[in-house]
Amino acid sequence: MDVELGLNTFGDVTQGPDGALQHPAVTLREVVEQGVLADELGVDVLGIGEHHRPDFAVSAPDVVLAAIAGRTSRMRLGSAVTVLSSDDPIRVFQRFATIDGISGGRAEVMLGRGSFIESFPLFGYDLDDYERLFTEKLDLFVRLLDEKPVTWTGTMRPPLTDVVVHPRTESGRLRASIAVGGSPESVIRAARYRLPLMVAIIGGPAERFVPLVDLYRRALDELGADRLPVGVHSPGHVAETDEQAREEYWPFYDEMYGRLGRERGWGPTTREHFDAEVDAGALYVGAPETVAQKIAATVRTLEAQRFDLKYATGSMPHTLLMRSIELYGTRVMPRVRELLG
């Protein structure tokens, strides 16, 4: 099986050598260095997420991607995800078409609704319009991908009549996909718009997403569309041994999920839950061989064409992230390809 192997980060604000949180500006510079290393090691694609809260440094992933584009030569560069509901589809297209030009055709945009809602009040959107915002803006964005004059009418923005959006891409089409978390409606929507599917698996085994992937492929078939790639995004961490990887990752996983749990009313996470997710769930944590075996199994199970490891969780120090990237590029990726034959 031919599979693309990528990395994702949300730019979580990192700890410094003294254990204190660093200024977000330092984290932004670290993300650029992480991207440069990933490109040097042959990683296929780097995705950077968008958030608007103090624990994540990246609110403008396109700007960070442009900085990485200027220092890399081969790796594709994309969002993970762009929160289209609270953005303007035309501006999103323009920004990523600009990155595409700067990078020599290496840009891609991953569209989603995101799991955080801070951008809605920040940019003046009503959460009561959550579904309608995404539906209408996605409809407009997909029309922009044809790079032809667009005539469009909706309820959330002024209509367009024969509008051509610039800059155009050299290839004639910007790469785009839809990220979903488990909703059948979202899967059907991706198929209807003929966009590749990226499945965010952040809990439980990959097997439970087989019905969703099957639904996507059946929907494409019923629409008379060509088969499109399916990808998987999951968190993890690579170290020299399984024990080392777990011990390095656990405190940051515990801290981050504990913080989010307090915000969202979840119960506290436990070490038993963490170990279960590493053993048979959505956490790809371990030595290179362990992580490679698990990635290969997931790719086979979902017949996926892409796997992205979200390598940063919580305030993990830059040194640990760089070592994880190094092991992913030098040992995990070659082993996954060997296992898949």
Burial of 125 (C-beta count, 10 Å sphere; 0-12/13-18/19+): middle
The span from the CA of 119 to the CA of 132, in Å, is: 16
pLDDT tens track for 119-152: 999 999 999 999 999 999 999 999 999 999 999 9
312: domain CATH number?
3.20.20.30
pLDDT per residue as tens, the chain (341 positions) = 789 999 999 999 999 999 999 999 999 999 999 999 999 999 999 999 999 999 999 999 999 999 999 999 999 999 999 999 999 999 999 999 999 999 999 999 999 998 899 999 999 999 999 999 999 999 999 999 999 999 999 999 999 999 999 999 999 999 999 999 989 999 999 999 999 999 999 999 999 999 999 999 999 999 999 999 999 999 999 999 999 999 999 999 999 988 988 888 888 899 999 999 999 999 999 999 999 999 999 999 999 999 999 999 999 999 999 999 999 999 999 999 999 99
Phi first, then psi, for residue 202 (nearest 5°) are -115, 5
- Angstrom distances, CA of residue 335 to CA of 127, 211, 292, 305, 330: 45, 28, 6, 16, 9
Q: How many domains does the chain have?
A: 1
What is the extent of the structural domain holding 16? Answer: 4-340
Question: Which residue in the block uniquely carries the two structure tokens 């040992």?
Answer: 331
The span from the CA of 84 to the CA of 110, in Å, is: 9
Q: Please name the residues in contact with 15: beta carbons below 8 A apart, sequence gap of 6 or more.
A: 21, 22, 315, 316, 317
pLDDT tens track for 223-245: 999 999 999 999 999 999 999 99
